[in-house]
Structure 1
Amino acid sequence: MYRAAVSLKRKSGGTQTYAKPRPVFPPCLTGRENPFVENIVEDEAAPSDIQMELEVPQGNVYERREFHVETPLRGVQPLPLPRSLHECAENGILHIDRAARLILSKMHRKEFNEAVYYVFIRSDIVLRAKVTYGSLNCMVGSDIHSLWHIANRMTVRLHILGCHICFDLLNLI
């Protein structure tokens, strides 16, 4: 509740009236008299906003740490190099990654025989096998582009030969 800025008072025994200015707001109360003044001693004991923010747990609060076990990631270890191209086709699956590694290693040693490669590609086992690239997607190294080139070349050759066999069978009918 605000008071008027000026108060009128009459002097006793006379008819004089005068105006005395009053402050618009009441004077500030200090200490315990004013409930709006903060007590500095109590504020030091209370935690600040930053301290309260740091106490909030981070991450998943429902996770039980005793059940959390970290396992180290293992890199993909390639299978040992096969001795021949026919070992790359087993159980109706042609492992193109292993065949490409074998062909590349023979090319580096200058032992690659293209006639053996064509016999392998034209064999019935390879033409009927399903193709898998295996670990070729996970490999890293300097020879990765060469391996992909050999693998793509083998896949295209298999596809072309498969189409020729289908057309030959249609011509027989």
Structure 2
Amino acid sequence: MPPASDESTETPAYESPLLRARDRVAALVADEGPFTVACAETGVSPPPVSDARFASFADAERARDAAVDYRTALRNLDPGLPSYDLAVCEARDTSLGFASVRETTADRRANGLPRTRRTVTLAGAGSDEWLRVENAPVVDLVGPETLLDDEVVERQLEAMGRER
């Protein structure tokens, strides 16, 4: 009779492919690399390649392949996991400055409350990369990892319509 196994020390079957794929990506990461891996359609870099940069195109390709393996193994556990068409792309510093100012004006709304003016300014890294919007709906189209659903954007627009 074989000895009884201690279940607490056994690695679950799903963990090995996930951990191996994560380790493959981690071994390829370079702090200041010129390449990243992201969805070709949305620009989302899902785990395990979130915020990762790679020193060469070949390293980024290997990381993409590991990420595909990782997400395939994860999808076996959760069929509802979002699917991404991962591709190698050049890393871009997307530091975007955002400032929002709301000022009270002398005008009054129909309900007697003061009317406000909202100005939003977005600025990129270059001196000619900026956009200023005044008294127009400004909504978030992208969440932490993906584009927002139409419903979420619609709720934001409706909320802004109630502010007027």
Query: TM-score, normalising length from structure 2?
Result: 0.24
Q: Could you say which structure has the larger radius of gyration?
A: 1
Bigger helix share: 1
The structure richer in strand per residue is 2
